[in-house]
Amino acid sequence: MDGKAGAQGRIRACFVVESGTDARLVEGLAERFDLSVIAREIRGGVEISQRLERGASVVVGSGSRLGFSRKVWKLLRDRVGQLDYVIVQGYGAAALAVNIVSRSAGVPSGMLVCSPAELYYECRRSNLFPSRVFRRRELVILKALAKANARLGSRYFVLSRHLEEVVRRHGSVKRVDIVPVYGVDTGTFVPSREDKSLLRARSGLPAEGKLIFFGSRIAPEKDAPTLLKACALLLSRGNNLWLLHRSGGFREFVREASQFGVASRVIATDAVDPRRDLARDYQASDVCVQASREEGLGFSVLEAMACAVPVVAAAVGGLKETVLDGCTGWTYPVGDAEALSARIEEAISNPCEAARRAQAGRELVCRRYERQLVFDRLEALVKADTRG
């Protein structure tokens, strides 16, 4: 590292992305740093969720995790004199390459941990998704990489206290700071002043019945089957409801819904642009559900809260820090479809209580998870690292 800053004295940072990332995270980093991105190719998917609207150079590497790690190592070695800081996603193989270069070349770096990789992988044991096979050898590798990065790395940025506990279990952790980037844009995700019927009419959504929003990707840790079973129970009890789903895996979600006999009540499409369109889905909904079996933080419920929409979530991981039963939402035991259906029923049948909890949820988001606030904190920590 030669100590020279980038354009206009900004820190020259590289963001290494191993498993795909949200455009809002990349854009938030690009606002504050002279940013370059190295991303692993996601075959059949996208490396960055949406087209970037802020400048950042992006290099896409091998789809193989091992091949990508080698590319990261080589690119960083070649750019040592052009970088002030490296942020790497997670604590996998790419993080190991970053930490090796960081130690040998003296470029400060930090691991940004948004999800507990080994705990997510263990959710495959449930056999809810036959296509996601659990292999003990792969879990052993994930845990070994986590421990190696704990030894070699100098610091972590994590989204929640839950993730702090996860990385501290990996071993000799040096520095851990809770920085829930990319946060929530509380100027975009706001309570609607319009009646829900108008919002639904404008979006082509059903005028009658309650609308449940589920925005999680389709993966074992997100537990869509429990939500679908809960919806089947609610419909069997005479509730008039619809399930709105937005994600790249929406076709798989519809197939799962057919198995539970609720496909006719599902409205599912690809993900919409969260910077413009997603807030309208929350505002049009009566309740947002996050049915995770494991969760690092859970941005969907935070976005719903910011829109003053009632939330129901599994009592697990980082969700326990934001969805506080009786205060900011409703919770239920992981995997318990009967309990989930009861909580949804409570939320939609008690509008005054739902409004009270939803307002408390928005206040929590504005206080702790607002976008500007969390990126300011990350920037301050990175600047301190480069001075140290």
The span from the CA of 366 to the CA of 356, in Å, is 16
The whole-number pLDDT of residue 313 equals 98
For the stretch 198-222, pLDDT in tens is 999 999 999 999 999 999 999 999 9
The answer on 254 and 200 residing in a single domain is: yes
The whole-number pLDDT of residue 48 equals 95
Minimal CA–CA distance to 304: which of 326, 342, 341, 330?
330
The answer on 381 and 347 residing in a single domain is: no
Q: Report the SS3 class of residue 48.
A: strand
Residue 121 has pLDDT above 70, yes or no: yes
Minimal CA–CA distance to 289: which of 339, 255, 327?
339
Residue 136 has pLDDT above 90, yes or no: yes
Residue 1 has pLDDT above 70, yes or no: no
DSSP letters, 154-209, are: --EEESSHHHHHHHHTTS----EEE--TT-B-TTTS---SS-HHHHHHHHT--SSS
The span from the CA of 14 to the CA of 30, in Å, is 10
For the stretch 324-379, pLDDT in tens is 999 999 999 999 999 999 999 999 999 999 999 999 999 999 999 999 999 999 99
For the stretch 252-296, pLDDT in tens is 999 999 999 999 999 999 999 999 999 999 999 999 999 999 999
The answer on 116 and 155 residing in a single domain is: yes
Residue 381 has pLDDT above 80, yes or no: yes
The span from the CA of 254 to the CA of 245, in Å, is 9
The answer on 361 and 382 residing in a single domain is: no
Average pLDDT over residues 33-50: 94
The whole-number pLDDT of residue 100 equals 97
Report percent pLDDT > 90 for the chain.
92
The answer on 74 and 219 residing in a single domain is: no
Average pLDDT over residues 154-173: 95
Supply the CATH number for residue 27's domain.
Answer: 3.40.50.2000
Q: What is the strand order of the sheet 57-61 is part of?
A: 57-61, 34-40, 12-17, 85-89, 109-113, 156-158, 176-178
Q: Is residue 83 part of a domain?
A: yes
For the stretch 299-315, pLDDT in tens is 999 999 999 999 999 99
Contact assessment for residue 209 and residue 241, using Cβ atoms and an 8 Å cutoff: yes
Range of the domain at 157: 7-183+371-387
